Amino acid sequence: MRELPETSRLRGRDLIAVGLDGLRGRPLRAVLSALGIAIGVAAMVALVGLSSASRAGLMAEIEEMGTNLLTAKPGTTLSGDAAKLPTDAEGMVSRIPGVTGVSGIGLVEDATVRRTDKISSAKTSGVAVQATRTNLLKTLSGTVRSGAFLNSATSQYPSVVLGADAADRLGIDRADANVYIGGQWFLVVGILDELPLAPEIDRSALIGWPYAARLGFDGHVTSLYERSTDAAVSSVRDVLGRTINPKNPEEVQVSRPSDALTAQAAAEETFNALFFGLGAIALLAGGVGIANIMVISVLERRQEIGLRRSLGATRGQIRLQFLTESVSLSALGGAAGVVIGLAACLGYALYRDWPLTLPGQAIAGGALAAVAIGAVAGIYPARRAAGLTPTEALATT
């Protein structure tokens, strides 16, 4: 009795080599096919990475500025009119147990800031003039980008410190410039860095409290800033309104700026799901492209399939060959997408001076999704190739 020949086995490395042969034979087509997967993975990694870096940067700012800062602003009266904080509000707040610093600013309503006296007073560029205490920067834990902050001497004269946004809007990048405020020339003695916990300062021109009276300032605080020990924040917040205005505490709006930034960071994190969805749509489109290319590849390589079948290749080996080719194509696109996405993410994070956080979830998810989509996209072409008999395949001209 004649023995049947053993079925040839295709080792793993041989399977990979055979699968990659199809890609090497048509490099341009392979690159264009993998491009869709690369774009999807790059979008996913970059968007999630930027969101994570932005959130990390925001949390770092909160950590640096502290969560023990409270602000108090005037609300409205029962009749709907604008309320005012008492002129002795700062002194009253400083006597609360646990308070380590109090400062404030007051809006100089009739004053405008202009780069020169040739510009109409109606064009304020959105910059407000605020009277300020000399301890404001210390209370807010802020820093000076250029020059120095107001002190007991400069606050008595026409000197001004510009917030970060105010300086940009006025086209001033360093101290020692001059601006026109309330019909007078003021010397810019300092420019501040951004203050995430007090954005109203960024948009303001700060002048000394004593000198502001010459411009019609009424002496009322419009934004009061209070710094306390971490343990006393909650207790101070509970009594801050009643301390500032014992008769009408409801006319005082008390807030914790770090809460808004923390909520913003949490909101940015929720967008990750949306970014994953956008990347998944691009990956799906790339998977359809790979499936289409693999079907065309099967039609073009029917004679190759027939020859391999005649030489002993089984249907399973043909199926694995084309499935490996599809997965390899998708995996290469996924790897390229990860590199592109990381480069974009890290480059922008360095530009914005954000912490360099690798989006591990997006990298792993993108890579696995690329391989999975490649496998799914290759199932039909692989089954179609395996279904060809040697006679059918070799009969193709």
**Domain check: are 85 and 27 in the same one?**
no
**Domain check: are 250 and 273 in the same one?**
no
Q: What is the pLDDT of residue 284?
A: 74
Across 132-136, 277-281, 348-352, the highest mean pLDDT is recorded for 132-136
- pLDDT of 37 above 70: yes
pTM for the model stands at 0.60
- pLDDT of 172 above 60: yes
Distance between CA atoms of residues 301 and 312, nearest Å: 17
Q: How many CA atoms, within 13 angstroms, populate the side-chain half-sphere of residue 223? A: 25
Q: Which of 216, 240, 256 is the last residue of a domain?
A: 256
pLDDT digits 0-9 by tens, 45-104: 887 777 777 777 766 666 666 678 888 999 887 777 888 888 888 889 999 999 998 999
217 lies in some domain: yes
- pLDDT of 7 above 60: no
2 lies in some domain: no
Average pLDDT (105-122) is 87
Domain that holds residue 331: 12-62+262-394
pLDDT above 70 covers what percent of the chain? Answer: 81
Least Cα distance to 71 among 189, 241, 206 occurs for: 241
Least Cα distance to 298 among 379, 244, 359 occurs for: 379
44 lies in some domain: yes
Hey, how many other C-beta atoms are within 10 angstroms of the C-beta on 352? 11
Distance between CA atoms of residues 240 and 249, nearest Å: 9
Q: Which of 256, 274, 301 is the last residue of a domain?
A: 256
Q: What is the pLDDT of residue 181?
A: 93
**Domain check: are 107 and 148 in the same one?**
yes
- pLDDT of 264 above 90: no
245 lies in some domain: yes
Please give the residue that has the higher pLDDT: either 364 or 25: 364
Average pLDDT (147-163) is 95
Q: How far is Cα of residue 22 from the mean position of the Cα atoms in its chain?
A: 41
Q: Which of 256, 272, 304 is the last residue of a domain?
A: 256
**Domain check: are 123 and 173 in the same one?**
yes
378 lies in some domain: yes
**Domain check: are 103 and 35 in the same one?**
no
